Chain A
Amino acid sequence: MALRLMRTFTLGPATLNAVGRQQHQQQLIHTTPACCEIRKLARLRVVDNSDLGKRAMAEGRPPRCIHVYNKRGVGLIGDKVLVAIKGQMKKGILVGLKQNQRPKQPKFDSNNLVLIDDNGSPLGTRIHVPIPTVLRTILKEKTLAKGADYTKVLAIASRYV
């Protein structure tokens, strides 16, 4: 018993040292900033006035992207994404991104999303932030290429930048 006590006593400083080293290592760990790209499990912000979106944002449980409908897997502006929102799966269109954009195209402070249904018509009736003008061209092209009509999203926009 006594011996064991002695052992623990002698081990004391060593364990302390180990703890100190661990702390030091924690300081040395390299932490990268948050990834600004829209990939799977990226959190988004719903910017239309749909009931579902408003409730999700008010609860502080923003939707997560669970799939990006393009071949690269990284969502760019005007891309369609599948999101998990309040336990449901919904589709949405990215209307503003945090990541760096080309010259003359706005870069936003948040990753904005407008919820749509399968036909491309939006769930809300109004978008309460500005959306980039490039979206007109992009969504028109996508409407021609795919079957769904995405231009209804443009119709509910309040302002273009």
Chain B
Amino acid sequence: MNLTARVVVNRLAQQCAYKRIVTFSTKPAEHAVPAQDEPKNVEVPPAAPTQTPAVPPTTPRKPIIPANYRFVYPEFLPDPKVEWRNSIREKLERLDMLERRKQIDLPEFYVGSVLAVTSSDPHAAGKTSRFVGICINRDRCGLRARFVLRNVIDHQGMEVVYELYDPTIQKVEVLRLEKRLDDSLFYLRDALPEYSTFDENMEAEPLEEGAPVPVNDIKVVLRPRPWLERWERQNLRGVANIDQYLKDKHRLSSARVQKPWEKYDMMKHYRSTIAEEEQTEIFAEVHTELHTLELQRKRNKRKRTFLKPKHLA
């Protein structure tokens, strides 16, 4: 028994060594591979695979990565779907993203923040177009990261999808930095228009430096059915009056499709997220540059901000 265990450990160590040589340039993958293997061979003592790769990277990497990076820069984390992973591509994309971030200030924002995006538009009269709206969704990873802005202009609701790293985008301003109670606000399409109406000439509302991002716990009022989606099935927290429009059949059917056990499904959670070790790997790669960019932004902001006195004495 002892001997077989030792043989297994040896073989594992060999595999690790082999993998380390093959994927020499891509350090995140090295960590990712044992992390993915872990659930498969549970009975193997985990000391051997974790020890070997853990020792070399910890010594040179000193920078302490802020815990909020995974919320501020979610697009730096790759898609957790295993079939779509490609460590080299991810690394190259990260380099490209940093290059783009050196050219343009892409600020921190969340679903529920109000943004103004200025992009060059060959069809527009002035060759640029500016759209103000509330961010109702953020999706996709890496260079393909996108967000959706929604606004109601002249009583006409409209949405525009922007790619965050689109080279034609000239400027992204955050007019109001805040979060909402839900992860995506598609239900604003079925809400009363005043909840998605934002003034185009809105001024940026400054937030104190270092203050936590406020959560706006506004409850949206939906208009009566028909709706675009079955909102009653999605356990929305930011909707005030959904019960008013539900009949018993809707309640029954939504209770039937609920999956209350999913929050205990550790494998599902594991497959749908990037492990913490891997996140630290990724952010350790980009941390220094992101940090310098942040410092630069702060310096520029201090230079630029000249508060115009509103009332003259």
Taking a contact as CB atoms under 8 Å apart, the answer to whether B158 and A106 are in contact is yes
The answer for the CA separation of A96 and B124 in the assembled complex, in Å, is 16
Contact of B156 (CB < 8 Å), options: A103, A109, A133, A160: A109
The interface residues of chain A lying within 8 Å CB-to-CB of B125 are 160
Taking a contact as CB atoms under 8 Å apart, the answer to whether B124 and A160 are in contact is yes
The interface residues of chain B lying within 8 Å CB-to-CB of A161 are 129, 131, 153, 158, 160
What is the 8 Å Cβ interface bit string for chain B, positions 138-163, against chain A (1 contact, 0 not)? 00000000100000011111111111
What is the 8 Å Cβ interface bit string for chain B, positions 187-227, against chain A (1 contact, 0 not)? 00100000000000000000000000000000000000010
Taking a contact as CB atoms under 8 Å apart, the answer to whether B153 and A159 are in contact is yes
**Closest chain A residue to B196 by CB distance?**
A109
Taking a contact as CB atoms under 8 Å apart, the answer to whether B162 and A104 are in contact is yes
With both chains docked as a complex, state the minimum distance between the C-beta of A41 and any C-beta of chain B, in angstroms.
Answer: 18
Taking a contact as CB atoms under 8 Å apart, the answer to whether A130 and B124 are in contact is no
What is the 8 Å Cβ interface bit string for chain B, positions 109-131, against chain A (1 contact, 0 not)? 00000000001011111000101
Number of A-B contacts defined by CB within 8 Å: 70
The interface residues of chain B lying within 8 Å CB-to-CB of A108 are 156-158
Taking a contact as CB atoms under 8 Å apart, the answer to whether B166 and A103 are in contact is yes
With both chains docked as a complex, state the minimum distance between the C-beta of B124 and any C-beta of chain A, in angstroms.
Answer: 5
A interface, over-half SS: loop
The answer for the CA separation of A134 and B124 in the assembled complex, in Å, is 8
Contact of A129 (CB < 8 Å), options: B119, B131, B155, B162: B155
Q: B residues near A, CB below 8 A?
A: 119, 121-125, 129, 131, 146, 153-163, 166, 168, 189, 226, 228, 249, 253
Taking a contact as CB atoms under 8 Å apart, the answer to whether A104 and B119 are in contact is yes
- What are 11 inter-chain pairs, A to B, with CB distance below 8 A? A47-B156, A101-B161, A104-B168, A106-B160, A107-B158, A107-B161, A110-B157, A129-B153, A159-B153, A161-B131, A161-B158
User: Is A40 an interface position by the 8 A CB rule?
Assistant: no
Taking a contact as CB atoms under 8 Å apart, the answer to whether A109 and B153 are in contact is no
With both chains docked as a complex, state the minimum distance between the C-beta of B129 and any C-beta of chain A, in angstroms.
Answer: 6
Taking a contact as CB atoms under 8 Å apart, the answer to whether B123 and A137 are in contact is yes
With both chains docked as a complex, state the minimum distance between the C-beta of B100 and any C-beta of chain A, in angstroms.
Answer: 16
User: Is A105 an interface position by the 8 A CB rule?
Assistant: yes
The interface residues of chain A lying within 8 Å CB-to-CB of B123 are 133-137
User: Is A8 an interface position by the 8 A CB rule?
Assistant: no
With both chains docked as a complex, state the minimum distance between the C-beta of B170 and any C-beta of chain A, in angstroms.
Answer: 12
Taking a contact as CB atoms under 8 Å apart, the answer to whether A103 and B161 are in contact is yes
The answer for the CA separation of A66 and B303 in the assembled complex, in Å, is 60
The interface residues of chain B lying within 8 Å CB-to-CB of A135 are 123
The interface residues of chain B lying within 8 Å CB-to-CB of A47 are 156
